[in-house]
Amino acid sequence: MEMAAPEAEVARDDGGPLLAAHGNGDREAFPKLVQQYRRPVYGYLFHCGVPEPDRDDLFQEIFVRVHQRARTYDASRPLHPWLFTVVANAVRTYFRKQKRRLFFFAGPPPEDVKDQAPDGEALASARETTDWLERAIQALPFSQREVLVLATLENLPMNEIASILGLPVNTVKTQLRRARLRLMEGYERRTRATS
């Protein structure tokens, strides 16, 4: 039997009206908006591998940016993609700066700092599959990582991811495919090792 379309989007409690109310001076709206999105935003930062002390700063930074750009938000459109554009851009900028900093202070990295292949030993030693998986995702190349997190943990459809990241849909698909195949590789190794 034919399955339902995978992109069927989960109905989301959208915070759009809250942001609009905030723009119009409602004092209660923004805290509510933060409460609604703290988990997805923080989760994205975590799974994309933003390290601990910077993660908190970036989290605050993102919501300040949302506040500053509240006026540019079109209330007739869903908030989720808009907000995740801000989030994704903030994370990209962060990693870009990070790379530059490393370049200046420690010389050029051999390749993308975050784009190292999963460290087999560290991963295999992870006791829990969830621990392993979290680390494996963080060890994916950044371009694959962001697509994977948006597609799986945020459950966003391809075209939305493409517009959030400013990429062609086909590129998004390629990255997602590569990300999953890479994870599968590690997963198969892991299950073979443990069984």
Partner 1 sequence: MSEICERVREEAALLGRAPETEELREHAATCAECSEFLSKLAALESEIAGLRSRDASDELVGKLLARPELNPRPSFRWRVWAMAVASAASILFALRIGLLYRAPVLRPEGEIARPYELEEDREVSAMMKSTRPASPRAEEPQAQESLGYDALGTSDQKRQAPADKLERADEFKDLEEQRAPGKAKKEDFDAAGGRIGAGSLGDERLLAKLRHRAPVYPEIARVARIQGTVILEVTVDREGNVTAVRVVRSVPLLDQAAIDAVREWKYVPSDSDASRVFPVQVPFILEEPDGDEARSPLEGLRFQEAKGYWANTYVPGDPVLRSLELSLRGTAYPALHQAARPAPLPLDATSTGALSLFIHSNRRGITEKNRLLVQVGIRASDHHGRRRPPMNIGVVLDLPRVITQDFASATTTLLSSLESASELGDRFRLIVPGAGEVLTPETFRHGPLTVALQDLYSRAPSGSVSDALALALEKVHAGDDPTEPLGTSVVLVVTGRRLGGELDGLARMAQASAVGGVSVSAIGVGAELDSAELDRLALDGQGRRYVLDSASEGPGIIDRELSSASRTVARAVRLRIQLAEGVRLVDVLGSKPLSARESARVRADERVIDLRLAKNLGIEADRGKDEDGIQIVIPAFYAGDAHSILLDVVAEGPGPIAEVTARYKDLVRLENTVSRAGLALPRSDALSGPLEISVEKDRLEFRVAEALRVASEAVERGDTETASQTLHEALAFALERDRSMLEEYLRFFPQLPASYLRDSLLYASALKRSHTAS
- Using CB under 8 A as the criterion, which residues of the chain lie in contact with partner 1 when the complex forms? 2-3, 6, 22-27, 29-31, 34-35, 38-43, 46-47, 56, 59-60, 63-64, 67-68, 71, 129-130, 133-134, 151-153, 173, 176-178, 180-181, 183-184, 187-188, 191
Cβ proximity to partner 1, 164 vs 190, nearer residue: 190
What is the rounded distance in angstroms from the CA atom of residue 167 to the CA atom of residue 143?
A: 11
Shortest separation between residue 109's beta carbon and partner 1, angstroms:
27
CA contacts within 13 A on the Cβ side of 124: 12
Specify whether the CB–CB gap between 32 and 18 falls below 8 A. Answer: yes
Cβ proximity to partner 1, 40 vs 99, nearer residue: 40
Shortest separation between residue 85's beta carbon and partner 1, angstroms:
20
Cβ proximity to partner 1, 57 vs 112, nearer residue: 57
In the chain, helix, strand, coil percent, each to 5? 70, 0, 30
User: Which own/partner contact pairs does 185-188 have at CB distance under 8 Å and 24+ positions apart?
Assistant: 186/118, 186/120, 186/123, 186/132, 186/136, 187/136
Shortest separation between residue 19's beta carbon and partner 1, angstroms:
11
